[in-house]
Structure 1
Amino acid sequence: MTPLERRHAAIEATMARYRDRPFEWGKVDCAKVAAFHLKKLGHKILISKAGSYSSPLGAGRALRRLGYSTLAEMAEGIGLTPIPHARMLLGDIAQIEGDSPVGAIGLYAGNGNLFCFHEDHPGLVTFAPDRILRAWSVL
């Protein structure tokens, strides 16, 4: 399978699993979606070692148990390669502005859009953020 085919297969699997599920801390959130996606691409993600959580405060504690304070720190810590956001390809990870103290991330969907959660919608949406803060290649 080519790298683009792997990216496409991982996005399809991730969307099939999470597309119609409402946001819920610790079950269906940025970290869980990204971890599932990265596992589909062969990354070893040990998010289960963080323990369970059900609130933004709990998510912060879970990240600290893994040695990180934000999702962006975790992306760096697990070895994803930082890239300019203009070079993102399908399925890459992007950090965007968000209200959560752990940060907000999404999966690159192409054409400047991300698959991510937004406060005005109960589940994953295709969203064109005003600004991408950081980006990481998944391959």
Structure 2
Amino acid sequence: MDLAKRRNATLQTVNRFAGQPLVIGTHDCGKMVISHLRAMGHRPRIGEGGTWKSATGLMRFLRRHGGSGAACLDEWLPGRRITPAMRIIGDIVEIPGEPPFGCFGICINNGRVLCWLEDLDGAAIVQPVQLLAAWRT
């Protein structure tokens, strides 16, 4: 996918999620990542049992898909894990977050990421200090 298409898909994700308060099941990291993957032309296989509507449902979803959000992304984007330093607009990153779920975000530009963090009222574009993993979308 060329950079213009990556930018447009990322802008669509930013417009949908930026400023939205964290509500597990409708506006959370997982829902944002799934929506972004679809905007980028991927079709993540959610599997039986669908998605989640609560923190308990999210825990069940993660257990069915390898136990973590990173395992889900490895399943949905096989062979697409990259070194975080190689990320470009539209890629997905994992940053340290509140256990047990962690935090995933969408790369915007200049090292910035759209994500939810504990001290923010809604999804925001932030400059993360540490990146745990990254996936090319």
Instruction: Give the structure-2-normalised TM-score.
Output: 0.89
d(CA) in 2 for partners of 1:122 and 1:105?
A: 16
Counterpart contact for 1:94–1:133, Cα < 8 Å:
yes
- 2:54 aligns with 54
- 1:87 aligns with 86
Residue deviations 1:75-105, cap 9 Å, x none?
1111250111111000101111111313211
Counterpart contact for 1:10–1:37, Cα < 8 Å:
yes
- 2:71 aligns with 73
d(CA) in 2 for partners of 1:104 and 1:50?
A: 21
Residue deviations 1:34-66, cap 9 Å, x none?
1101001111123474333312x331112223x
Of Structure 1 and Structure 2, the greater strand share is in 1
User: 1:12: how far off?
Assistant: 1.1
Instruction: Give the structure-1-normalised TM-score.
Output: 0.88
d(CA) in 2 for partners of 1:78 and 1:25?
A: 21
Equivalent pairs counted in the alignment come to 135
Matches within 5 A, 1:1-139: 3-47=2-46, 49-55=49-55, 57-65=56-64, 67-80=65-78, 81-138=80-137
Residue deviations 1:12-31, cap 9 Å, x none?
11112112321100110000
4+ residue runs over 4 A deviation? none
Where does structure 2 lack aligned partners over 5 or more consecutive residues? none
Counterpart AA for 2:90: G
Counterpart AA for 2:86: R
User: 1:69: how far off?
Assistant: 0.7
Where does structure 1 lack aligned partners over 5 or more consecutive residues? none
Counterpart contact for 1:72–1:103, Cα < 8 Å:
no
Counterpart contact for 2:94–2:134, Cα < 8 Å:
yes
Percent identity (aligned): 31
